[in-house]
């Protein structure tokens, strides 16, 4: 049987299963965020491949769990050979591959990046529905909501915080970073500057604002212009600098976000104790 006929047959079988309402038996993920949601919610054996970033602890909060699965390079040819009946991906990653797979008749579902904790809640429910694992998703969501409620506090005074990213960027309230800081009881300097989403904040402006806490990501393993400014002596001299070493917890709309909230709440407690 020629390759084109095999692909057509596989696509037809996939569509038949979807029409019958069957839960997908072979799921391939092409995105580090969908990797983690599928690992968390999927049935044993349901997820057959994850992206390479899934196994990188700098990018994935579930890198250890992902080691048990084959990693893919997000190429359409590679995915076809895995015979999936569902491909899950991000909205902005592996576009060429996902478009080709759709043309071949494969079912592709894309997840937009989470921009809030509420987006994370919706991602959990959607993944449960796609995988036919609604009960598991409800269980995960209940745990998420219970932990978030326990983490939320109403401090008498909020520290003014700047999350300072490579290339002088910071993030406002309408971002996942901003929502994490808000849930932890912190006041985001970006909100003072009128930045609803991401924007540039020159180093001089940051220093003149005198935030109580300045949060930066850990540097790359090798020197990089993107993070060199975060090592600036002027930042070091403020005494407000704190390195966020668990950056995977800030990236994706998964329950790992609550580890970031907990870490920021603990940092706020330390700041309060020092006042």
Mean pLDDT of 175-196: 95
pLDDT in tens, 3-53: 445 445 545 544 444 444 689 999 999 999 999 999 999 999 999 999 999
Q: Where are the domains of the chain?
A: 27-149, 160-274
Picking from 83-92, 120-129, 200-209, which range would have the lowest pLDDT averaged per residue? 200-209
pLDDT in tens, 70-87: 999 999 999 999 999 999
- Stated pTM of the model: 0.86
For the chain, give the mean pLDDT: 89
pLDDT (0 to 100) of residue 122: 97
Nearest to 93 by CA among 30, 27, 176: 30
Task: Supply the CATH classification number for the domain 27-149.
Answer: 3.40.50.1980
Rounded to an integer, what distance in angstroms lies between the CA atom of residue 152 and that of residue 261?
9
**Res 104 pLDDT > 70:** yes
Mean pLDDT of 195-215: 92
**Res 244 pLDDT > 80:** no
**Res 238 pLDDT > 70:** yes
Picking from 104-113, 137-146, 230-239, which range would have the lowest pLDDT averaged per residue? 230-239
pLDDT in tens, 145-174: 999 999 999 999 999 999 998 888 899 999
- Cβ-proximal residues to 213 (8 Å cutoff; 6+ apart), any chain: 159, 160, 161, 162, 186, 240, 242, 267, 271
Q: Both tokens of residue 77?
A: 């040819």
**Res 255 pLDDT > 50:** yes
Task: Supply the CATH classification number for the domain 160-274.
Answer: 3.40.50.1980
Is 151 in contact with 261 (CB distance < 8 Å)?
yes
pLDDT (0 to 100) of residue 17: 45
**Res 57 pLDDT > 50:** yes
Q: Both tokens of residue 105?
A: 């008749």
Q: Both tokens of residue 89?
A: 């991906």
Q: Is residue 1 very low, low, confident or very high in pLDDT (cuts 50, 70, 90)?
A: very low
Mean pLDDT of 228-242: 80
**Res 138 pLDDT > 80:** yes
């Amino acid at each position: 049987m020629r390759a084109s006929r095999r692909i057509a047959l596989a696509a037809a079988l996939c569509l038949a299963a979807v029409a019958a309402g069957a839960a997908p038996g072979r799921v391939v993920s092409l995105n580090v965020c969908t990797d983690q949601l599928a690992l968390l919610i999927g049935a044993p054996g349901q997820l057959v491949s994850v992206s390479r970033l899934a196994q990188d602890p700098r990018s994935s909060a579930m890198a250890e769990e992902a080691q048990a699965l084959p990693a893919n390079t997000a190429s359409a040819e590679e995915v076809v050979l895995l015979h999936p009946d569902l491909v899950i991906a991000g909205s902005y990653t592996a576009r060429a591959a996902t478009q080709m797979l759709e043309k071949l008749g494969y079912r592709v579902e894309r997840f937009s990046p989470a921009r809030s904790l509420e987006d994370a809640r919706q991602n959990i429910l959607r993944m449960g529905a796609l995988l036919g694992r609604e009960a598991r998703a409800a269980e995960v969501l209940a745990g998420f909501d219970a932990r978030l409620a326990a983490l939320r506090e109403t401090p008498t005074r909020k520290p003014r915080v700047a999350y300072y990213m490579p290339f002088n960027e910071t993030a406002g309230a309408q971002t996942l970073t901003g929502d994490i800081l808000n849930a932890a009881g912190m006041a985001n300097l970006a909100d003072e500057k009128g930045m609803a989403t991401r924007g540039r904040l020159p180093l001089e402006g940051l220093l003149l604002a005198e935030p109580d806490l300045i949060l930066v990501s850990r540097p790359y393993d090798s020197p990089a212009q993107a993070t060199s400014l975060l090592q600036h002596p002027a930042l070091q001299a403020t005494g407000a600098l704190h390195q966020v070493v668990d950056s995977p917890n800030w990236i994706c709309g998964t329950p790992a976000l609550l580890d970031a909230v907990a870490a920021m709440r603990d940092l706020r407690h330390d700041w309060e104790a020092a006042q």
